[in-house]
A and B are shown apart, each in its own frame.
Chain A
Amino acid sequence: MNEFLFCTNHTFFARQAVPLHDFPVFRSLLLREVPNHEVAAFFAVPEQDEFFLYAALLNPEKHGLDVCSTKVGKSYPALTPELPALSWFERELFEQYRIEPIGHPRLKPLRFQSALNGTDNQRPEAGAAQYFTMQGTSVHEVAVGPVHAGVIELGHFRFQCMGEDVYSLEIELGYQHRGIEKMLEHGPDKKSAFLAETAAGDSSIAASLCYHRILEAAQDIRIPARAQALRQAALELERIANHIGDSGALSGDVAFLPTASYCGRIRGDFLNITAELSGNRFGRNYIATGGVRYDVSDDTAGKLLAKVNAGEKELMNALDLMFDEPSVLDRFENTGTVSEETARQIGMTGMAARASGLKRDLRISLGSPEFPEHLRQCASGRTGDVLARAAIRRDELEDSLAIVKKILSALPEGKCSENHADSVVLPADSMIFSLEEAWRGMLVHAAVTDSNGKFLRYKIIDPSFHNWGGLEMALRDQQISDFPICNKSFNLSYCGHDL
């Protein structure tokens, strides 16, 4: 038997084809592979009283994923002590199915919900978790949230401080839990696309791409080149708008007003460009099975290109103001550093991982042919501090702007959407992984179908899921007053994590 099943992105395969190992073998495989490979997914599918545990690791050499599985009962020896990258995944198993990873150092549910398979209807009380605490006369504890000042989502931050120095930060999420995965079960139906899209509103385009590519894979649809280009443009516009917003917010948090104000406006300009292209400022409902919902005329494409060019010029001026200001650089530099080693151990992804020097970018590791080779943000030598996360945004902005301009100036001819059946039948007893490089990093949608070709399980893993732990690590030995800029430099999604 093979150790792993290799599969490519957006491809259905039979559940039977996944190698089923005994737990000790499964454990030794993960111990060997996880330190060097990104964990795309680690989740359970219930079957009577037992659970199939699926682990999917990225395989950048072969541009795909390696999948393997095992079967466990109500408990199993935890992998987290050896593999910190699995910590939140194991906490999720505990939360969703009450599977107990024995020996997990900080075992508590990530969200506050009753068990997905209905075995335990007791919902844990929100925020009533046990926190890491410290003893001593000069130690003090600071609790921030879940309700914050300003327009911020719900999340609780617990600091253990010695004076102004943070010894430990513990993040408690789950307040935004809506039960999206549960609602997606027994789909796909008319609601499914909208549910999948709203997992995290600022990543709508990436999320709907993931979802629709699953339906396309089921029907074996080849997407027209024009649709592919428009999807790409929309995805990059999403990245651009978010990066601009974050750059401005970082500047605002250190009270450097010019860049904060300019970026606030320029972000709006790019959201409006997205709206003109897709009909919605956040690209909602733009991606459709088979392509995109609206075509763009050559005239409009030309106008949009002019707007992108104008926006780029203003944006670069605004960013130069910030990166040329010594007092700003002084705040950013050596603040909230996550070393490459730490980032690898806890399994960080996307932009934040790249800022720590890890070369993790699905656009490259999954080798999508439509992506240009000149993405420069994977350059090594990043320092992992707030400055690195600010600088990588500027580099990615330049890359993404170049991609959008290239697409808009030479849109392939043809139709913007392929015909497809109204009601989709998915392959029965199968699995599929659909991954996109969203602006925060690796976004994974994994679907498992039942014998009727309906979703038995629909698993969404937002990049924030991997990176919240990074924020906890970034705050170690930092000044508590630097928490806001560290937090902003990650800008992770609460609702994307809480689902």
Chain B
Amino acid sequence: MNLQIIMWGIGVIEALVLSPVLPGIINKVKAFFAGRKGPSVFQLYYDIIKLMKKRAVRSTTAGALFTIAPMTALITSVLMLILLPFAGKASPLGFAGDILLFLYLGGLGRVLTVCGAMDTGSSFEGMGASRECQFAILTEGTFMAVAGALMLMTRSFSLGGMLNFITTSDYNRYGIILVLLAVAMFVVVLTECCRLPVDDPDTHLELTMIHEAMILDNSGDELGIIHYAASLKMWILLSVEAMMILPADMNPVILLLTETLTVLFGSILIGTIESVTARYRFLKVPQFLVGSTALAFIAMFLLSLLQIQGA
């Protein structure tokens, strides 16, 4: 038990320390596919350190919301992180229904980012904010559907119970359901983390941006915080994905290690997807997101069948 809580603590610290490596890995993979050398995987660390040494420049039209948005994004991300059950140990802060707190902490961070963007009065940031909200509504649905399926499967309402349910012997029974949920969840990861095929983090074209458009006015340490919070969010969502599909009945040390490797593998997968597909037209994105929600509903349907059969 002691070992588990120590490993849980290590899991949290690991996320805080290692998360900026994820965008680095993605860029390395993309560079590999393009036949380039690419920047170091630690580039985001350098960028964040550089930015933290700088002062933020604020537009004269921006008000208080713009100022508090970056820090809110960071704080909500950290709170989401410590709700997660690393290494098979439910978070000490966990409670029944904490999944909703988890989801809407993310929502709170987003609302503040959107308000901060609108606060600048820039038409680009307004467009970015509008797109972010539109897609967020749809991913929220997907996430809730995945959570619903997990609740049905585990009969639990806390993240600890829902994500630590699967054991090594369960794959025969729940394999196909886990695949469906993993795919749906991965779409959530791609959308929430502003990756292709929904958003293009590398573009310089303001008119096509979503997340990048919202932070066009941010600079200096505030931009550094935003970059860090974004990478942390990616680590958190990939961790949810990892915990969902990995068996919880392993040795905590090995489990944490496997979770970490799965998260890193997730970033390689994102990099690969970004290298071989073009970005979707905006009109297609809702179809993509609703399609992923449908996968979660199919998973729920299959679960019901299983339970009827089991009963």
A residues within 8 Å of B by Cβ?
140-144, 149-150, 163-164, 251, 253-258, 260-262, 265, 325, 327-328, 330-331, 335, 479-484
Contacts and interface: CB of A to CB of B under 8 A. Distances in A.
A140 B284 CA distance: 23
Given A257-B30, A481-B208, A325 B278 contact: yes
A327 B36 contact: no
B282 A331 contact: no
B196 A255 contact: yes
Interface string B238-254: 00000000000000000
B204 A149 contact: yes
Given A255-B196, A258-B275, A261-B36, A150 B204 contact: yes
B33 interface: yes
A262 B36 CA distance: 10
29 contacts: A142-B123, A144-B206, A144-B207, A149-B205, A150-B204, A163-B130, A164-B127, A164-B131, A253-B208, A254-B279, A255-B200, A255-B274, A255-B278, A256-B279, A257-B33, A257-B34, A257-B275, A258-B33, A325-B278, A327-B197, A327-B279, A330-B284, A479-B282, A479-B283, A481-B207, A481-B281, A481-B282, A482-B281, A484-B205
A480 B277 CA distance: 21
B215 to A, nearest CB: 13
A141 B34 CA distance: 37
Contacts of B30: 257
B127 A261 contact: no
B34 A143 contact: no
A143 B205 contact: no
Contacts of B280: 327, 330-331
A335 B279 CA distance: 14
B310 interface: no
Contacts of B36: 261
Given A255-B200, A479-B283, A141 B278 contact: no
Interface of B: 30, 33-36, 123-124, 126-127, 130-131, 196-197, 200, 202-208, 274-284
Across chains A and B, which 10 residue pairs bring their CB atoms closest together, nearest first? A261-B34, A256-B278, A149-B204, A254-B278, A327-B278, A484-B205, A255-B279, A255-B200, A150-B204, A328-B278
Contacts of A328: 278
A164 B209 CA distance: 12
A421 to B, nearest CB: 50
In this complex, which of B127, B202, B205 has the most chain A Cβ atoms within 10 angstroms of its Cβ?
B205
B35 A480 contact: no
A142 B123 CA distance: 6
Given A141-B123, A480-B127, A325 B277 contact: yes
A321 B205 CA distance: 23
Contacts of B204: 149-150
A484 B208 contact: yes
Given A265-B35, A325-B277, A330-B280, 4 more contacts: A149-B206, A258-B275, A327-B278, A327-B280
A101 to B, nearest CB: 33
A339 B53 CA distance: 53
B207 A331 contact: no
A330 B196 contact: no
A375 B34 CA distance: 32
A265 B37 CA distance: 14
Nearest to A141: B123
B207 A257 contact: no
In this complex, which of B197, B207, B284 has the most chain A Cβ atoms within 10 angstroms of its Cβ?
B207
A150 to B, nearest CB: 4
In this complex, which of B130, B200, B281 has the most chain A Cβ atoms within 10 angstroms of its Cβ?
B281
A143 B126 CA distance: 12
B275 A479 contact: no
Contact of A255 (B123, B202, B282, B284): B202
A327 B283 CA distance: 13
A253 B35 contact: no
A330 B281 contact: yes
B282 A164 contact: yes
Nearest to A253: B205
A261 B30 CA distance: 10
Nearest to B206: A149
Contacts of A254: 278-279
A140 B279 contact: no
Nearest to B284: A330
Contacts of A256: 277-279
B283 to A, nearest CB: 7
Contacts of A251: 278
Contact of A260 (B34, B131, B206, B207): B34
B26 to A, nearest CB: 12
A479 B35 contact: no
Contact of B279 (A141, A261, A331): A331
Contacts of B282: 164, 479, 481
A454 to B, nearest CB: 46
Contacts of A331: 278-281
A256 B126 CA distance: 26
Nearest to B124: A142
A143 B278 contact: no
B138 to A, nearest CB: 15
Given A143-B123, A150-B204, A484-B205, A258 B278 contact: no
A143 B205 CA distance: 13
B222 to A, nearest CB: 19
A140 B275 contact: no
Nearest to B202: A255
B207 A483 contact: yes
B84 to A, nearest CB: 31
A483 B207 CA distance: 7
Nearest to B281: A331
Nearest to A145: B206
B34 A142 contact: no
B40 to A, nearest CB: 19
A484 B208 CA distance: 8
Contact of B34 (A258, A479, A484): A258
Contacts of A265: 35
Contacts of B202: 255
Nearest to A332: B278
A261 B35 contact: yes
A262 to B, nearest CB: 7
A75 to B, nearest CB: 38
A213 B282 CA distance: 49
A71 to B, nearest CB: 46
Contacts of A261: 34-36
